[in-house]
Amino acid sequence: MGHTELGLRERRTIEDMLNAKMSVDEIAAEICRQRSTVFREIKRNRYIDDELPKLNGYYGVTAQRSAVDRRARRRKLVRFIELRDAVIKQLKAGWSPEQIASRLKFDGQA
């Protein structure tokens, strides 16, 4: 079964329920998601400001914006044509992805 990404409505529900001091289990049940998904979402998109700790917390709209920005970021093999060509060449030569990754790190290309 495939997965679906969290949407703004779910992120706002997470925010509201966290503000109401509800548990992650209750939040997960409310939005019909695994508790690990909710934990990961909160950890990944928590706002932390050392200068203004009163603003620390989870904000659904900010989390949604961050998620959209991450999805829009182009991956390394799309941005660097030479790197992509080198990876394809090594794959065709029978190298495993692990071997390619190790070699690229060794060569300082990764």
CB contact at 8 A, 60 and 17: no
> Residue 12 pLDDT > 60, yes or no?
yes
How much is the pLDDT for 4? 85
User: End-to-end CA distance of the chain, in Å?
Assistant: 32
Percent of the chain past pLDDT 70, that is, above it, reads: 97
How much is the pLDDT for 110? 66
Residue 14, amino acid: I
Mean pLDDT of the chain: 90
- Using 50, 70 and 90 to split pLDDT, how confident is the model at 2? low
Q: What is the pLDDT of residues 24-75, one digit of tens each?
A: 999 999 999 999 999 999 999 998 888 888 888 999 999 999 999 888 777 8
Which of 58-72 are b and which e, b meaning 16 or more Cβ less than 10 Å from the residue's Cβ? Answer: bbbeebbeebeeeee
